Structure 1
Amino acid sequence: MSVPAPRPLILGSTSAYRRELLQRLRLPFEVASPEVDETPQPGENPRDLALRLALAKARAVAARHPAAVVIGSDQVADLGGEPLGKPGTHARAVVQLRRMRGRTVIFQTAVAVVCVETGFEKVELAPVRVRFRDLTDAEIESYLRTETPYDCAGSAKSEGLGIALLDTIESDDPTALVGLPLIRTARLLRAAGLSLLGAA
């Protein structure tokens, strides 16, 4: 009896950071833009925003590819319950980093896996507690001019020079701060029927 072909895997994200992380699992995958409105809803907290957007991204791509297993992910910087997204500009990044210096920020990173044909749909959260150093304005400017992290939640590009902004990182999923929690992603992919390490 022939073994059925594995379902195609799609990363519902245009993020180069998430693409590079997913490549570590050594699974063939495609990339698709989810085209989801990321505007927070009135009164929505950062945790719920990250969970909602991760699932919305996975659902949006899965609707166009019903046979595929689709990954969606989102990250929101949580500063005392206020969501901080991608700054987009230098000026907004300066404001974000000035507000975060000397404080603890929780990076709420969510990942969802959806397959329309099998009815599979799950989402998990991987919060990361980060303590920022009491940065000087000169340090903030130097970092931003070097890294230009305007597409990173909270302006924090931890896989680069952004690590010098931080005092401590607390997480049970080491890649969550970069944007895709691979321990949770691998768990969800296994639950969706994908084999990561060959036959069980």
Structure 2
Amino acid sequence: MMSFSTSLILASGSSARRMLLENAGLAVQVRPVDLDEEALRRSCEEQGHTLSQTAIALADAKANLATRDVGFDELTVAADQILDLDGVAFAKPGSVAEAAEHLRRLRGRTHVLRTAVVLYKGGEKVWEHLASPRLTMRDFSDDFLKAYLEREGPAILSCVGAYRLEGPGIQLFSAVEGAQDAVMGLPLLPLLEELRELKVLGV
């Protein structure tokens, strides 16, 4: 009998990614990893990797760390997301002031979220996927930006781009091209399709 659900290790402390998986009916074991992401980003840049390749490398490194001491058939998923504004990568803001600066630079322009997800079975990678949703921010006023930052506060510091599309951040945008789950950090439909291919979810 095929299963409607399965159990996954999530190599991330992201509440948004966990919510997406759990809302889809999956049992999630959260296992954040201690990865020097900045060092890996620098290494990828020195090797001439694209931002898409860097996102995949980061997701792969997280999953690899999380799969230590797992059973041979345990499934581990990891993801990473890089904001790409005309080839320039944005990291998560370190303060509300830095978030304001990021949003001023993004205002009125289109950026791409390089969103990578990898799946390991046991200690081996079995699948990877990259989604690249495009988002266009409207030319919002400084008064709106101030009100937005006061409303959201430090919560946006955990978000690349300093916005949560599932919250008030949606008001920053004039257009979004791509799946909302990919914007939130996890391309869910491709992942579910791969789980069906692996015969751990019902078809």
TM-score range, shorter chain: 0.7 to 0.9
2:69 to 46, 64, 67: 64
- Once the two structures are superposed, the pairs formed by residues 1-200 of structure 1 within 5 Å of their partners are 8-39=7-38, 40-41=41-42, 42-43=45-46, 44-67=49-72, 68-116=74-122, 119-148=124-153, 149-171=156-178, 173-195=179-201, 198=202, 200=203
Runs of 5+ in structure 2 lacking a partner? none
SS at match of 2:157: coil
The whole-number CA distance in structure 2 between the counterparts of 1:123 and 1:37 is 21
The whole-number CA distance in structure 1 between the counterparts of 2:198 and 2:188 is 15
Amino acid at match of 1:162: G
1:120 Cα shift? 4.3
> Over the residues paired in the alignment, what is the CA RMSD in angstroms?
2.1
Number of positions where the alignment pairs a residue of Structure 1 with one of Structure 2: 192
Runs of 5+ in structure 1 lacking a partner? none
The whole-number CA distance in structure 1 between the counterparts of 2:54 and 2:69 is 23
1:187 Cα shift? 2.0
Contact 2:83-2:89 at 8 Å conserved across structures = yes
- Greater per-residue helix proportion: 2
With structure 1 as the length reference, what TM-score do the two structures score?
A: 0.88
Amino acid at match of 2:166: E
The whole-number CA distance in structure 2 between the counterparts of 1:128 and 1:165 is 16
Contact 1:124-1:184 at 8 Å conserved across structures = yes
The whole-number CA distance in structure 1 between the counterparts of 2:163 and 2:138 is 12
Deviations, residues 137-180 of structure 1 (Å, cap 9, x unaligned): 22212112211311100112111000000000001x33111111
The whole-number CA distance in structure 2 between the counterparts of 1:76 and 1:165 is 19
